[in-house]
Amino acid sequence: MDDKREQGIVLTEAQLKSRRHRSIAIALALGVLVVLFFAVTLVKGPAVLVRPI
C-alpha cells in the first residue's frame, strides 16, 4: 500500500505554500461573509420574523 502512495502526485514546497495561502484566503473570505450575515441580521432585528405571508 505504501508503494501506491509514493507513486502519487508529489507537490513542491512552492505548491504547498501556495495551497496553504489559498486555503487561508478562502477561510478569511468565508469568515467575513459569516460576520456580514450576522451583522445584517442584528441590524434588521426581530422585524425579519414579522412579515406578511
Indicate whether 52 pLDDT > 80.
Answer: no
pLDDT in tens, 1-12: 555 556 789 999
Provide the whole-model pTM: 0.67
Instruction: Return the ∠ at Cα 4 (arms to 17 and 24), rounded to 5°.
Output: 20
**Residue 48 confidence class, pLDDT cut points 50, 70, 90:** low
Q: Which residue has the cell 495551497?
A: 19
